[in-house]
């Protein structure tokens, strides 16, 4: 079995998709896609522990997504 699933030439699709999904999750969990009024309201009502947990979760998902996007770019441009 020379290739698994669809072939190595399309591996950038898998890593890129995973990367963009995790970056999207990071954007959603950070709360940066809301209006300024909603952002102020969220900041005023959450505790310091909740804010720390939200920022930690955002950072973790971003650190999972970015290496996947970089790997996808390398697979697409450097290793055609």
The reply to whether 44 falls in a domain is yes
pTM: 0.81
Q: Looking at residue 7, what is its pLDDT?
A: 67
Residue with tokens 């698994």: 4
Q: Please give the pLDDT value at position 64.
A: 96
Q: What is residue 1's predicted lDDT score, i.e. its pLDDT? A: 42
Instruction: Flag whether 2 is in a domain.
Output: no
Query: How many domains are contained in the chain?
Result: 1
Asked if pLDDT for residue 27 goes beyond 70, the answer is yes
Residue 71: CB atoms within 10 A of its CB come to: 17
Angstrom CA distances, 54 to 16, 26, 27, 31, stand at: 24, 10, 11, 9
Contact 11, 79 (CB under 8 A): no
pLDDT for 31 beyond 90: no
Can you give the residue range of the structural domain that contains 28?
Answer: 8-78
pLDDT tens string 35-71 = 989 989 988 999 999 999 999 999 999 999 999 999 9
Give domain status of residue 73, yes or no: yes
Go through 23-39 and write b for each residue having 16 or more CB atoms within 10 A of its CB, e for each that does not: bebbeebbbeeeeeeee
The answer to the question of residue 1 being in a domain is no
């Amino acid at each position: 079995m020379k290739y698994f699933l669809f072939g190595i030439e399309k591996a950038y699709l898998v890593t890129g998709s995973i990367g963009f999904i995790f970056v999207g999750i990071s954007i959603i969990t950070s709360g940066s896609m809301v209006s300024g009024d909603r952002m102020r309201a969220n900041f005023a009502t959450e505790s310091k522990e909740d804010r720390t947990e939200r920022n930690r979760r955002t950072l973790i998902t971003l650190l999972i997504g970015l290496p996947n996007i970089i790997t996808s770019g390398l697979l697409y441009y450097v290793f055609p």
